[in-house]
Every structure is written in structure tokens, then in C-alpha cells.
A and B are shown apart, each in its own frame.
Chain A
Amino acid sequence: MSVLQVQGLNASYRKNKVLHDVSFEVGQGSLTSIVGPNGAGKSTLLKVMLELHPKLSGDVSFFGSSLSKTKTRVGYVPQRGSVDWDFPTDALDVVMMGLYGRVGWLKRPNKSHKEKAMASLEQMGMADFAGRQISQLSGGQQQRVFLARALVQDADLYFMDEPLAGVDAATERAIMTTLKDLKTAGKTVMVVHHDLQTVEDYFDHVLLLNRTVIAHGKTEEAFTKDHVYRAYGGTLRWMKEA
């Protein structure tokens, strides 16, 4: 059964059209990287699917249903730069935010929520930093907190916007281990990714995007030199991308 179905999606950002007739389907248990040059509409695609950015036309269905009915089954990890890390809160609290949808209105998170959040911090190797103010964390640690927050949501489908951007090697390993665990557990993950060199090692599926879908499928089939070249046009410099 397909977990995510996108049909004829169009969207614009400011005045420019950034998504043109995007259609694809994602099966359960896949680990897909969304790859494309700057301005290809990768982040916008995530936002449009999550209804955080308006679409012009097209349909998106999650688990054969609409987003509003499946919200708790969909998790989202925004770009690290999208929030203000000076916010007065600590790592554990940020992770707990992943549970707010579940806690419900007018209720406060209780002990079991706290334990869940702690467990997921532990899973990301961040248990020691639970009480640390978030601006005191390194970039990699901040990203791990975001990942822990996604884990605690216990969703079936995850969207992650550049979780590997600007992180240290240890964090990159920790995140990739987590993503593979998620996949083993039958979850579906879509990751906006910028490093062409690691696509083949890390992901079993790839979605090459440049305003429209250039290629989509199993990595070995879709991630061909020809397709990548088409997605990046003349701007591709293989070695420098890293």
C-alpha cells in the first residue's frame, strides 16, 4: 500500500512557480532522499504536502486519506535554521513539544510523556543534555534534539528538511542509524538531502527534483548520472558538491 500519494501538485513561492506538476508515490518502509539543486522546491514540496504552504492545484493523500485525518501519523522535522535557538527552553522541553498534539488541549504533559521524551533523547545519545538550554548545544546536538522530537511523535511517515546539513560526523552517523532503525520498524521517511556523494550509501529510494520530478524510484535505478545531470543542469560539479 502506498503511504503517500502526490498527484499533479503545483505551487508558487512569492511570484515564482516552484513546483510544476509534481506526482509520485511512496511505499511503506522506504527511505527516500529528495535531491535537487538550490531553488528546486525541495523544502517547498515538504511544506506544501504538510499544508504549511498553499498549493495552486493537485492532490496529496496520506495513507489513502487526507492530512487532517492522519495528522498524528505524520511527523515533520523543519530546518534547524527555522527556529530561534535563543528561545528560553531546554532540550527535553523541545522534545516534549513533539507530544503536544497527542497531549491535547488544556492538558499538561505528564510523567509518562516526560519519560517518553527522555527515552527518545537517550536514543539520540543526548540524555546528558536534557536540561541544557538549547542555544548552548552545538549544531549537531540541536539537530539530534530535533530528531528526538520527531521520534517521540511516533509517526508512521516522516518528513525531514536537511537533517544532515552542517552536522558533525558523529551526529551524521547517529542520525543515519536512527533513520535505518525507523525503516526497519516499518516507518517511511523522506529526507531533503544535499550531499550527492552519500545518496547511494544512505537511501534506498531517491526523488530527483527540479521544480518537477526528474526521476523517482529505487536509488540504483533513479540515481543515474544522466538523471542527476538533468536535475542539476549545467550547474553540477560532482566533486565540489561535498
Chain B
Amino acid sequence: MTYTGWILLTASLVGLSCGIVGVFLILRRMAMMADAISHTVLLGIVTAFLITRELSGPHMLIGAIVAGLLTAVLVQWFNSRGVQQDASIGVVFTTLFAIGVILIATQVGNAHLDTKHALMGEITFVPWDLMHVPLLGEVPKATFMLGAVLLVVIIVILAFYKEWKITSFDPALAASIGIPVVLMHYVFMSLVSITTVAAFDAVGAIMVVAMLITPAAAAYLWTDKLSTMLVLSGTFGVISAFTGYYIAVWLDTSISGSMAFATGIVFLISFLFSPKHGVLSRYLHKFNTHGSQEKLDGTS
């Protein structure tokens, strides 16, 4: 495959897995947890690196899951001790991220890992870091990891589809019929963590947040069906990846920054023009029903 092909494939895989996970993130009102986890996985990766002295896929995944779960547990714990939800997110993620940055600066040196890379990623290097995969041949490491994570995400979401739906919509009912709401919560946080870390290396933390939240929010404006929303959100993620890439080539600028920006464009279009929940259609709707409203008022 061509160099551009690998980049587009990698970014599309990010768009797909983030898009799917993102739908449940925003429905569970945990958008800012994505922001938090995307920062704290840095600490997980650094710690894994300091222990094993290598930056390999499995170590990073484990480090990220631990860091992600630690974030979720700490946020929950402070919250249960009376700290407001968003304040406790703020305390936890900034602290863990700061520790990660300090560890990088004092222990790691700038040789293998640096904070800027973690935030912005270096997707342009992805196609050069190859590994051999049976049947597929030479595949970029990051792409392979993202593919594997996407597979895990799809399997976990589909296998427990109705459980995800009910615990997101009505956790009280879910708990009362015996679904382990708490366990599902932490499984979900693990999903967010592995998605984040897999995408991290390629596109960086900020684009992960954009890809997790924005396509899902855009999809939310187009449909009233959860399954459709999942498909749309993944599609929007891929569209943003492509659009972002070509914007970046056109302006000769950061690819991941442009992809994050492109998710914003997709959202803006949905926000303004979606026939169901767009601003324009709401405005027109108000305008149209105004007349009939007056009639109703007249008869009452």
C-alpha cells in the first residue's frame, strides 16, 4: 500500500473505534472523562516504559488500561467523598498528567518519549515503523494495533449491546434487573483507555478527544436510533480523517491537528443543517408552527 494509503487507513481506524466508543461516552455524559483519560494514559505509558525499558504494544496497552482505570476509580472516589464530579475529574487528570510529564523530563530524557509527541502524535512516521504479520505481510505497527483494538471494541460493544444500551439509558433499572452496572462502567473505561492508547501513538491525545466526542455528537443530531448513531458516528470519524488529511496536505500543516479540526467542521455542518435537530430546521420549524400555534391560542 502507498504511504498515503497507510496514513489514511490508520486515521480511519482511529475514526471508527473512537466514533463507536464515543457514542456511549456522550450518552453516559462522560465526554470529559475521555479528555481526562486521554491525558492520564501518558502516565501509564511512561510508567510501563520505566519498568520495562521498551515501548512495545502490549506493555503500553496494559499501562494505559491501568492508568485509565486508576483515573476512573479516583474520580469516582473523590466524587463519593463530596467533590463535585467535574472538579474531581479536573484534580485527577491534571495531577496524573503532570506526574507523567515530570517523569518524562527527569527520568526518560527526550530520547524515546516526549510530551509533545504524546499530545500531537506523529502520524507521518507511522508507515515506516513496520512489523511482520502472518497473512498480511508488512504492516505498520500502529495500524496493526489500531486494527486489533477496533476489533475488540466492536466485539465488546456488539456482544453486550443491549446491556450497554440499558446501563446508559437507565442504570437504576439495569441494576434492579441484575445487570452489573459498576462492572460495566469499568469495562467501558477500559475500552476508552485501550482506544485512546492505540490512537495515541499515531495521532496524539488531543485528536483522540476530538475523534471520541465530536463525530458522536454530530451523529446524535442526525438520528434517534442508537444503532444508526453508532454507524453514523464511525462514518463521520472516517470522513473527518480523510478531510483532515487533505486539509493538512493542502496547507502543509499538522495532520492530527487538521483531523481534529475536521471533526469540528463535520459537527458544525450537522449542527446547522441536520434535518432532525439542526439549528436551521429548528428555526424553520418554529417559523412554520408559529401560524398554527396562533390558531390554537385563538380557540382556547
Contacts and interface: CB of A to CB of B under 8 A. Distances in A.
Direct touching of A and B (C-beta under 8 Å): yes
Contacts of A133: 224
Contacts of B162: 97, 100, 103, 108-109
Contacts of B178: 68, 71-72, 101
12 contacts: A47-B172, A76-B172, A78-B172, A78-B173, A84-B27, A87-B27, A97-B165, A97-B169, A98-B177, A100-B162, A100-B174, A106-B160
Interface of B: 27, 29, 82, 159-163, 165-166, 168-170, 172-179, 220, 223-226, 228-229
Nearest to B227: A88
Nearest to A77: B173
A221 B98 CA distance: 65
Given A88-B225, A109-B162, A101 B27 contact: no
A88 B226 contact: yes
A74 interface: yes
The 5 closest A-B pairs by CB, nearest first: A101-B177, A133-B224, A76-B176, A78-B172, A71-B178
Interface string A59-86: 0000000001001101110100011100
B225 A90 contact: yes
B159 A87 contact: no
Contact of A90 (B165, B173, B224): B224
Contacts of B177: 71-72, 98, 100-101, 153
A82 B179 CA distance: 18
A50 B179 CA distance: 13
Contacts of B173: 76, 78, 97-98, 149
Contacts, number: 78
A108 B161 CA distance: 9
Nearest to A79: B172
Given A87-B27, A88-B224, A105-B160, A52 B175 contact: yes
**What is the interface of chain A mostly: helix, strand, loop, or mixed?**
mixed
Nearest to B178: A71
Contacts of A109: 162
A105 B166 CA distance: 13
Contacts of B179: 100-101
Nearest to A89: B226
A167 interface: no
Interface residues of A, number: 33
Contacts of A90: 224-225
A127 interface: no
A47 B175 CA distance: 10
B176 A88 contact: no
A213 interface: no
Nearest to B29: A84
A6 interface: no
Nearest to B225: A88
Q: Which of A52, A82, A88 counts the most chain B CB atoms within 10 A?
A: A88
Contact of B223 (A47, A88, A100): A88
A74 B163 CA distance: 19
A103 B163 CA distance: 11
A94 interface: yes
Contacts of A68: 178
Given A87-B27, A89-B224, A101-B177, A82 B170 contact: yes
Contacts of A103: 162
A103 to B, nearest CB: 7
A74 B228 CA distance: 33
A84 B223 CA distance: 16
A100 B229 CA distance: 21
Contacts of B174: 100
B59 to A, nearest CB: 31
A150 B5 CA distance: 52
A98 B27 CA distance: 20
Given A88-B224, A89-B226, A90-B224, A97 B166 contact: yes
Nearest to A134: B224
A87 B168 contact: yes
Contact of B169 (A74, A75, A89, A101): A89
Given A76-B173, A100-B179, A89 B225 contact: yes
Nearest to A133: B224
A74 B175 CA distance: 12
A56 to B, nearest CB: 16
Given A71-B178, A101-B177, A87 B160 contact: no
Contacts of A50: 175-176
Contacts of B172: 47, 52, 76, 78, 82
